[in-house]
Amino acid sequence: MLLHSRIARTAIALASVAVLAACDDATTGPAAPATAAASQATAPSPTVGADTTPEVVDAPSAPQPAPTVAKTQGRVRIYSGPSDVPLTPAPDTGRGSNIIQLNATASEDIGTYVADGQGRTLYRFDKDTAKPSKSNCNGDCAKTWPPLLVKGGGQIYPSGINPKLVGYVERADGTCQVTIDGWPVYLFDKDAKPGDINGQGVGGTWFAISPVGDRTTSLPEVVTTPTAP
């Protein structure tokens, strides 16, 4: 029994050392920069006649404050603003992204609209409803106008949009579509690059969505001047 007790105590001690070592490894960061005193001790003395004018160094800008959770809906968290660190969404497997970015974007043609994190324009459909939220674009419609989907447990980071207006609605297929002031939002499959707004005014029912959920202004009509005969 005495031998077994010693073996047990030895095993526990070794395990404790291993855990401590792992914690030390996890908490050990890069070497701290040299202190001002150390720098002064090793710095060479200025020579007589040398220019001793202090160098003007711009003060670093204040860091972007980390956003806080402003609202939760189900397991989806809507934050108070854009993320303060780069975001890398997980691959979309057809159920939506785990990270959604919404950005208010200025346009001379249609006013301020909302784009996603890749700069793609987001649209609303007049045949949907906002109160209560309901999407009426399914089947072939949803192929042309893919809904912006968020996964359960996902995160939404709005910039220039009141986070209280952001949420989601469950679609007929069980996926969760992002909403702004209750309006489901969509992409347009004919927008080829960031900033395209080719879906504006299509069918008189599709419009880029504003940061408060309204329709944006219609594109100005292109007036062609006939050439002289």
Percent of the chain with pLDDT over 90: 60
pLDDT at 170: 97
CA distance 93 to 194: 22
How high is the pLDDT of residue 90? 81
pLDDT confidence tier of residue 65, bands split at 50, 70 and 90: confident
Q: How far apart are the first and last CA of the chain?
A: 114
Write down the pLDDT at residue 88. 82
Would you say residue 157 has pLDDT above 90?
A: yes
CA distance linking residue 199 with residue 187, whole number of Å: 9
Q: How many CB atoms lie within 10 A of CB 179?
A: 25
Question: Which tens digits make up the pLDDT trace of 89-99?
Answer: 887 778 899 99
In sequence order, which residues have a C-beta less than 8 Å from that of residue 177 and are 6 or more positions away? 135, 147, 148, 149, 150, 168, 169, 170, 171, 184, 185
Of 115, 112, 91, give the one whose Cα is nearest residue 102. 115
- Per the model's pLDDT, the better-predicted residue between 166 and 219 turns out to be 166
Mean pLDDT value across residues 73-79: 97
User: What CA–CA distance (Å, rounded) separates 209 from 124?
Assistant: 6
Distance CA 134, CA 177 (A): 10
